[in-house]
A and B are shown apart, each in its own frame.
Chain A
Amino acid sequence: MRRMAAVTGLIIVLVLSVMAQTNKELERALTPDAMKTFQTERARLYQWDSFKFLMGEWKTKGTAANAGFEVTSSLDGKALIISNTEPSLAIAARSKSANYKSLTFVYVEGLTQKATFYDSDGRVLTYNVQAEPRKVALVSAVPSHPSMVFEETTEGAVSIAVGQASRTKLVPQAKIQAVRVSK
């Protein structure tokens, strides 16, 4: 009886502390210093440093002739657009038709780089961006959905792996190479 009361009390304390923490965070978020830090961090994310190796037009060594993708800056640098015409990147989609296309919008939401992917099969997928030097991963928020990793292999060449992301790595289901056409 006493033990249960203690457990109940502990849970109430936990709930109250979570609520207090949330309120504290909100208050902190509104201070001028916190706002300045927030804006500085956002300005840094809008530099798109981790995507620089990927900017420009790329031709894929895939099955379709003239297939490839292009990464461009949009909305005065507030977003990046990856437009793709390579059917091999449609691994998890219903079709691999020659006129397969996809568009991925990369943006900053809060203090996180995110991406939303649309394709001609009607798929809409949301990604979190994870970056390492010369490597960008678009990791699906839903583990069963495909994730993508773009990695610079040599100057002017990248590999793109598509597969399912586990906690630590991507299990690739398809990997294709691309070479730069123009910056």
Chain B
Amino acid sequence: MRRNQILSCLLMVICVSAIAVPTKKPAENTTQRGAGADRWKEFRFLIGNWSGDGAGPAGQGLGDLSVETDLNETILKMTNVQNFTGKDRKTTYRGTMIVSAGSKALFLDNEGHVLHYNITFGPKTITFLSQPEPNSPRFRFSYLDLGGNQMKCSLDIAPPPNLDKYMIHVSGTATKK
């Protein structure tokens, strides 16, 4: 009898977990980095206005990236405008990334994508990795400081079901204006 009760409880837990897994936790964040420290230290090389070119399956493009702090330095706003000349048409791609404290970012673009990113820092590198979503590709933006006001940027996409197998979508070099 007792064994069955334990089994039932265990199944209940599994059941509740199975239902709870797909529910996304809201991205609430009220933590702040230390007020005295430079909260955007890792992003300093990125702050400014950039122009560059890129090429990939999406086409050949020229674009601008503007990176600035806002709201009294509590957020970092990255605005990207890219003009692509594809095989049969020209398109303008616009995207905005909002970075808040806690290494989280929200990305919106004019194609209707809404992506939530986690940010990691490496030597002279900042990587934005989108959170995995069922039946959706995973995106990875990387910015590598090349020095001399230059950086390498790339956007990689991992199509489902292999969300860790990235392919370069667009890659290029940008120069600070």
Contact = CB atoms under 8 A, between A and B. Distances in A.
A91 interface: no
Contacts, number: 108
A46 interface: yes
Given A26-B135, A46-B112, A118-B71, A126 B1 contact: no
A133 interface: no
Nearest to B95: A75
Contacts of A118: 71, 74-75, 98, 100
Q: Give the size category of B's interface with A.
A: 35 or more
Contacts of A12: 11
Given A8-B7, A75-B110, A99 B72 contact: yes
Contacts of A18: 15, 18-19
Contacts of A5: 4
A1 B1 contact: yes
Interface in B8-41: 8, 11-12, 14-15, 18-19, 22, 26-32
Interface stretch (B48-56, B58-66, B101-109): B101-109
Contact of A122 (B1, B5, B74, B108): B74
Contacts of B112: 42, 46, 78, 108
Interface-central residue, B71, B114, B134, by most chain A CB under 10 Å = B71
B128 to A, nearest CB: 16
Contact of A120 (B26, B71, B111): B71
A11 B28 contact: no
Nearest to B2: A4
B29 A75 contact: no
B12 A11 contact: yes
Nearest to B15: A15
Given A19-B18, A103-B70, A124-B27, A8 B11 contact: yes
Contacts of B32: 122
A124 B71 CA distance: 12
B96 interface: yes
B71 A105 contact: no
B94 interface: yes
Contact of B30 (A19, A42, A46, A122): A122
B74 A119 contact: yes
Contacts of A107: 108, 114
A11 B110 contact: no
Contacts of B101: 122, 124
A76 to B, nearest CB: 4
A26 B135 CA distance: 9
Interface in B104-156: 104, 106, 108-112, 114, 134-135
Interface-central residue, A99, A123, A142, by most chain B CB under 10 Å = A123
A124 B28 contact: yes
Contacts of A99: 72
